[in-house]
Structures are given as structure tokens and as C-alpha cells.
Amino acid sequence: MAMSGHDDHAAFRDRAFFGRRKGHSLRSRQLGLMATLLPRLAVTLDRPAPNELAEMFPRRPQAVRLEIGFGGGENLIAEATAHPQVGFIGCEPFVNGMAKILASIEAGAIDNIRLYAGDAIDLLAWLPDASLDEVDLLYPDPWPKRRHWKRRFVQDRTIAALARVLRAGGLFRFATDVPDYAAWTLERLMRAPDFVWTAERADDWRRPWAGFHGTRYEAKAKREGRAPCYLEFCRRAGHEPLHAALAGCRPDLRHSPPYSCDE
């Protein structure tokens, strides 16, 4: 069952952020972008979320999507460029990744991305119910050692938070090159009452969804001979039968953006 934003916050208060916040020192141009462009694009959690996330963008988008842990921003920039009618929120606590995407946003004069430079758990807790059309989690830190598994982003409570912020018919997309993390994620999403796996064929997990641009980590995984795994889950409306949930998610739209269930 989905939690309210308030409960979400309480549930995660004990959770630390485990990733890296900083790498090499930023160059002066990057520092300039962090000081001038980031404040203009930043999602600020110290005030309540707008009733409609569309209000955060200069041109009212038809849908709003979130990418968690965008790294260098390759996929986010490509998606935002390919879908100018969609608003994107990118979340990345790693300062160097944020500096990199700011340079790309400026170079491409991209106006449909908003950024949160922190832990996605806090962002999820801030977002209104059913406010997103899609959430992408691409190559999250795998935390391979058993004693670190609790650090993985995908946990039952994170899935509940995703279910709360996704609208019925919205999508959660996950990619990894770590078989154990793929199995971990599938196991948790399969037991989550709010989601249904959209796979139609036995090898669906081997193929990315249409239009996927790839990421830096994916390129590295392929270079090193690791096979990516792609999992796509649809947010169910309620306790409707699985076939009805899948119909609501328009599996045919796996091959084009699933912006509306009732089109």
C-alpha cells in the first residue's frame, strides 16, 4: 500500500545516503554553472510541492518524468531533447554529475529539465501523490556485498514511495548489469501489489524499451562483457485483475512514450 508523503519521510528518516557526493575539483566554468544555473533549475524541497508539477516548467509539459541517479546525464539529456513536450526532473547527489549536466543543458538551451542535487528518497517524499508519469532508475549502485544490500536503492519501502508518486498507468523502468540486483528488483516488484511487470516475451528483459539512449555505465558494462537487464513495471490503478492493469498500461506503448493510459 502506498504511503502518504508525511509517512514516507518518517519511514526514511533513519536512512543515510551511501553514495559519493564529490569527485575531482570542479573547473571554474563548472563552479559558475553551479552558482548561477543550478539555482534557476533547482527543485527546492523547503517549500511545498506545487499542486501540479507542470507548473515548474516554463512551457506546460504534457507529462512529467523523473530520472534517479542520472550520473553524467547522457540519458536525461537525450530524453529531454527527444521529448520537448515532457518535463523531466533529474536527481543526482554527485556534484560532478550535476556540473556535467548543467553544461549540457546550457549548451543545448534545454528548458524542460529541473534538477534536484540530493538523495532521491527526500525528493520522493516531497513529491505529490500520483504526480509522475514515469520514473527511471538506470544502473543504480549495485552494492554487491551481502552486508551492503540494505544500501540498495530498491527496497520494499522505496517501491511503496514510487507507487505513491506514480500515477496509475505510469511506468517504473530499471536497468542493471548486475544479475543479482536484477533478480532482487524483480522479486520485490513482483510482490508489490501496486506494480505489474510488463514483459510479454521470455527475453524481454534483454531488450531495452524503445528509444532508450543508453548511459555511460551501460557502455562500460558492455565494453567489459556484462549483459544489461531491462525491467519495466506499470503502476496499477488498484486491485484490478492483472490483464486489466496491463491493458491500462497500454503495453503497445512500450514502443512509444506511455504518456497517457486513456488516450
Which residues lie near ligand SAM (CB under 6 A)?
17, 19, 68-71, 91-94, 97, 119-121, 138-141, 153, 215-218
Which residue, among 191, 203, 205, 181, has the nearest Cα to 159 in the 3D structure? 191
The torsion of the CA quartet 17, 2, 205, 262, rounded to 10 degrees, works out to -130
Q: Which residue number, 121 or 162, has a Cβ lying nearer to ligand SAM?
A: 121
CA distance 68 to 172: 11
Q: Which residue number, 141 or 240, has a Cβ lying nearer to ligand SAM?
A: 141
Closest approach, Cβ 16 to ligand SAM, in A, equals 10
CA dihedral sign, ordered 166, 232, 227, 157: positive
What lies within 8 Å, CB to CB, of 142 at 6+ separation is: 152, 176, 178, 180, 181
All three cell numbers of 104, joined, read 549540457
- 214's torsion region: left (phi>0), alpha (psi -120 to 50) or beta? left
Closest approach, Cβ 193 to ligand SAM, in A, equals 24
Identify the active-site residue in 141, 156, 177, 262: 141
Closest approach, Cβ 252 to ligand SAM, in A, equals 27
CA distance 2 to 9: 13
Q: Which residue number, 88 or 253, has a Cβ lying nearer to ligand SAM?
A: 88
Closest approach, Cβ 239 to ligand SAM, in A, equals 30
Q: Which residue number, 3 or 221, has a Cβ lying nearer to ligand SAM?
A: 221
Q: Is 141 a catalytic residue?
A: yes
Closest approach, Cβ 76 to ligand SAM, in A, equals 9
Q: Where are the beta strands (DSSP E) in the chain?
A: 63-68, 86-91, 113-116, 132-138, 166-176, 195-197, 229-235
Q: Which residue number, 140 or 248, has a Cβ lying nearer to ligand SAM?
A: 140
Active site residues: 141
